A and B are shown apart, each in its own frame.
Chain A
Amino acid sequence: MKGLIISVASGKGGTGKTTVAVAVALAAGYCQFIDYDVEAPNADIFLKPEIKNIKKVTIKHPYFLTETGKDFSKCVEFCQYNALAVIGSEVVFFPELCHGCGGCILVGPEGAVREKDIEVGEVSKGFIAPGIDFLKGNLIPGSMRTTTIQGELEKMLNSEGLVIIDAPPGNSCSMVMAVKNSDYCILVTEPTPYGFNDLLLSMEVLDRLKISYGVIINRDGIGDSGISDYCRDKNIKIHIKIPNDIAIAKCYSGGGTLIDYNPSYCSKFESILKEIESLAY
């Protein structure tokens, strides 16, 4: 297989994105796997990669040489995020509001605004036999630079081969960052009103981005047939329904995959991969 990026997303959290993404990757055997859920990355719990290197991700924060006696009021005026204030001869800096754009250096007195690196998280690279290149991002608690970490992952995406992307929940910027490069998106949902509501929102996002998609219903049997009926009416592919089973939940709770639970899922996900190959091209 050449050049296919598959993302796995869901509006609602906890529907089984990671479970599905991991099963697809294991069924493929050879691919790049990227955990784009940098706020709550969990795929490594199941894939157990051997981590080969970790790279720190930093942004730049300014500091002000107030002893120069220069006027920094232009910096305060320029900052779109209200991260700066001048009180007397002091510059007050609010780091949690700074995006690290560098604007204050551009407009401020020459040489009197300097920058230092601030760590916002890290990106780890690893490997799982026989041939999965593993990548994950991890945001530091308290930082809001989710998309900075995702941008680092994007730079390492290998669009020549098969790529499986585990997306974060939701339907806003961090989810879009994860799915926007994909040829196909698998939407994982559960048959409850919450799952259905958030599935429709995710479909709106993908329609807008012109990315084709199919659905996997997880915990099938817990709710109603609303999603199945909807997908049938709209001609949306349902790749598989994974039954609600406390044994799967228990297996998952200890770090087991669907394939650990029942090896027959391997061939099921191989067929899903083939389906997607034919749908995506």
Chain B
Amino acid sequence: MKQITVISGKGGTGKTTIASCFIKLAHEHIAVDADVDAANLHILLEPKIEKKEDFIGGAVAKVNNTCISCGKCEELCRFDAISDSTADIKIDTLKCEGCSVCEYICPVGAIELVKEKQGEFYISNTDYCKIVHARLNPAAENSGLLVTRVRNAAEDIAYSQNKKLIIIDGAPGIGCPVIASLNGVDYALIVTEPTLSGISDFKKIYEVAKFFNIKTFVSVNKYDINTANTAEIEKFCSLNNIDVIGSISYDENVPKMLAQKKFIIDDLKSPAAKDIKQLWERIEKILYN
């Protein structure tokens, strides 16, 4: 069984648009939406939920009314999560990382670590394959942990049903949810765009993929809006031995199709559709060589 993650560094370069087409074109596969705090794959795939599970996040500190305001916890907290501990103690749950140092140091046992439900994840059926997707509560933490849960669920299904491939739609950025979506996969497809921002973020996400030793391919989306920048991306790739596996034309049809909740590849007259189909055929060859 192989796994491929679609990532980008910069947001809005076309990850989900491309991943959704791959999901429609592939066979014997499972889909994963690893962008758990802004999930979009369900919009085109219209999953029917078969199984739902609560996501319990990491622990955070809670203080009770036995606190004697000694200030020891604030002094030792490395995450600036505790303030006013010598008056009316406040714990910033956003900053708390659940290390339990405060619980350990508290002389009166006024602090305990509590785990709470921070979202849900779903195993669903679509017309094309099963999908594992999630909803992280707005403003919740531990998105990386939720990505790991979602991927574990997908791997379990893939092994039990003898599937050949897991296609993972990743999150923007280079932080914990992205690293969780890359951890242990066979391939990463970086979708970038020929803008200075796109190039800057592409170089950072490439460093991350390299750091975790993942075989990487690149696709330049809307390559024709700035051919000089596209050439720069290609030059960087050739210097670093990265395969530019297929680029995608700027195509006004793309947002129009999206607005009608249609897959781009449903209209093969559209230039971007042809490019994405060809991109998938090349990836498939590599996956099953």
A170 to B175, CA, bound (A): 12
Residue of A whose beta carbon sits closest to that of B255: A222
Known: A173-B143, A180-B94. A205 touches B138 (CB 8 A): yes
**Of the candidates A11, A142, A151, which one forms a contact with B95 in the assembled complex, judged by CB atoms under 8 Å apart?**
A151
Interface size class of B (residues with CB under 8 A): 35 or more
The stretch of A157-165, A191-199, A265-273 that contacts the partner chain: A191-199
Does A42 lie within 8 Å of B10, measured CB to CB?
yes
* B171 / chain A contacts, CB cutoff of 8 Å: 170
Which A residues, 120 to 157, have Cβ-Cβ distances below 8 Å to chain B? 139, 141-142, 144, 146-147, 151
B80 CB contact (under 8 Å) in A146, A151, A168: A151
Given contacts A80-B99, A102-B78, A103-B104, contact A144 B40 (CB under 8 A): no
Quick check: A170 and B172 within 8 Å, CB to CB?
Answer: yes
The residues of B that contact A49 with a CB separation of less than 8 Å are none
> Complex: how many Å from CA A244 to CA B256?
12
Binds A, one of B151-159, B198-206, B276-284: B198-206
Find out whether the CB atom of A171 lies under 8 angstroms from the CB atom of B136.
yes
> How long is the Cα–Cα vector from A219 to B175 in the complex, in angstroms?
28
Query: Is the pair B100, A12 in contact by a Cβ cutoff of 8 Å?
Result: no
- Interface residues of A toward B: which range? 35 or more
Does any Cβ of A come within 8 Å of B139's Cβ? yes
Selected interface stretch from B21-29, B160-168, B189-197, B235-243: B189-197
Answer whether residue B247 sits at the interface, using C-beta atoms and an 8 A cutoff: no
Q: Are B97 and A144 in contact (CB under 8 A)?
A: no
What are some 29 contacts across the A-B interface (CB < 8 A)? A14-B11, A15-B12, A39-B173, A39-B174, A39-B175, A40-B9, A80-B59, A80-B100, A99-B79, A101-B78, A106-B76, A106-B105, A151-B79, A170-B37, A170-B143, A171-B37, A171-B38, A172-B141, A172-B177, A174-B175, A176-B139, A192-B255, A192-B258, A192-B259, A193-B261, A202-B138, A204-B138, A244-B255, A253-B194
Q: Which B residues are closer than 8 A to A by beta carbons?
A: 8-13, 16, 35-40, 43, 58-59, 76, 78-80, 94-95, 97-101, 104-105, 136, 138-141, 143-144, 171-179, 193-198, 200-201, 204-205, 207-208, 211-212, 222, 225-226, 229, 250, 252, 255-256, 258-259, 261
